[in-house]
Amino acid sequence: MFKIYKKQKSMAEICLRRCGIMVSQIIIILLLLIILLGGGYYLFTKKFTPKVETNISVITSQLTLCQELVTVKYHYSDIIAIKKSVALSKSLTLIKYSGVIRIGIPDMLDCDFEIYNEGKGLKIKLPDVEILGNDITAQEVFDENQSIFVPIKTEEVFAKIDEAKEKTLEELIDDGILNEARENAKKVIQQIMISAGFEEVIVV
């Protein structure tokens, strides 16, 4: 009976020892997994996160440099005639004027962008193009014949010029100049961002 008890005790000790070894192995495996996962996460964040952050900084700085982006400048000139008459009194003024229309994006920081493909690709959504200016750059009265009874006032001249320049702008819009300005903006921004290091740039 004594021998049998001793043998049973030895078997129990062996089982306990084996269980202890298995637990130790499991703990070691878990520790190795934790180390591997932690190392992988560290390498991933070290490799990709700074690159994305750097690219965001590059995009912002490039857009800041653009600020107001003019993509179409249209120069125009014309002659207007102002006539007034009362009974036999007549006045006539011929005015030659020149102007420039600027169309583009007023603030490039209003763009939305998305970085993809591990920082190699960039998608930018542009805001709408706008009329940035329609300014008269020169004007000259080259023929004038005024009557003291029906004088042509300065404000009448300015009003006529304003009317003429607005008509010019409306005609250009009807001809599709806003679409032209937007397409030009897409090309400009695409080239800027490719020069900044992005392999693929989509501008919409």
Q: Strand, helix or coil at 120?
A: coil
CA-CA distance, 143 to 97, in Å (whole number)?
13
What's the sign of the alpha-carbon dihedral 160, 162, 166, 169? positive
Residues 6+ apart with CB under 8 A from 116: 122, 123
Give the residue from 170, 158, 187 showing the smallest Cα distance to 80.
Answer: 158
Q: Which two tokens stand for residue 156?
A: 């009448």
Q: Say if residues 109 and 101 touch (Cβ distance below 8 Å).
A: no
Please give the average per-residue pLDDT across 140-159, as a whole number.
84
State the Cα–Cα distance between residues 169 and 116, nearest whole angstrom.
Answer: 40
Alpha-carbon distance values, 8 to 5, 20, 122, 135 (Å): 5, 18, 72, 106
Q: What is the mean pLDDT of residues 128-156?
A: 88
- DSSP annotation of 152 reads P
pLDDT bucket at 104, cuts 50 / 70 / 90: very high
- What radius of gyration do the chain's Cα atoms show? 39
pLDDT tens digit string along 170-204? 999 999 999 999 999 999 999 988 888 888 999 99
Q: With residue 71 as reference, give the H or E element that holds it.
A: strand 69-86
Q: What is the tens place of the pLDDT at every residue in 30-65?
A: 666 676 665 555 445 444 444 445 567 777 777 776
Entry pTM = 0.68
More confident residue, 150 or 102: 102
CA dist., res. 17 & res. 145, Å (int): 120
- For range 73-80, the mean pLDDT: 94
pLDDT of residue 11: 61
CB atoms within 10 A of CB 6: 9
Grade residue 147 by pLDDT with cuts at 50, 70 and 90: confident
Higher pLDDT, 14 or 118: 118
d(C-alpha 90, C-alpha 87), whole Å? 8
